Amino acid sequence: MTSLLDTGVMLASLVRSDKLHSRAIELLRRETGDLVTTWPCFTEAMYLVSRHGGWSIQLQLQAMLKRGLFALAHLSSDDADHACDLMGRYTDTPMDFADASLVVTAEKTGITRILTFDRHFYAYRINGKTPFDVVA
């Protein structure tokens, strides 16, 4: 089964001092299907891991992508516009662009399962109706 991959799981899997490090490693080891994330999530993870270990830890994230641990979904300009619209719809939650990109990807692909530590995904809805199957 294909699942979406959120930034927090990528980050925690690489940062040993993260309180969710062991949980992230367990989630990734247990996962048998394909993982898909988005460029905004990958970019966010690159930035955040750099704050915890610099270039060497960024290289580890790049290696995860090169080894095929996850794939990057394509987002068009229209998808970016839709993501911004979703951010406006969820201002009370709130929703950042990386999270919105995952919701858009779920809407485009039909993937409803997501590996995340972000509780907001319990509130977000795919196409305004379908809840995510959150694996945390």
Which tens digits make up the pLDDT trace of 12-29? 999 999 999 999 999 999
Position 135 pLDDT exceeds 90: yes
Which tens digits make up the pLDDT trace of 24-81? 999 999 999 999 999 999 999 999 999 988 899 999 999 999 999 999 999 999 999 9
Q: DSSP assignment of 67-130, as one string? A: TTSSEEEP--HHHHHHHHHHHHHTTTS---HHHHHHHHHHHHH---EEE---GGGGT-EETTTE
Question: Which domains, ranges and CATH numbers included, belong to the chain?
Answer: 3-135 (3.40.50.1010)
pLDDT of residue 19: 97
pLDDT of residue 53: 84
pLDDT of residue 131: 98
Assign 83 a pLDDT band (cuts: 50, 70, 90).
Answer: very high
pLDDT of residue 127: 97
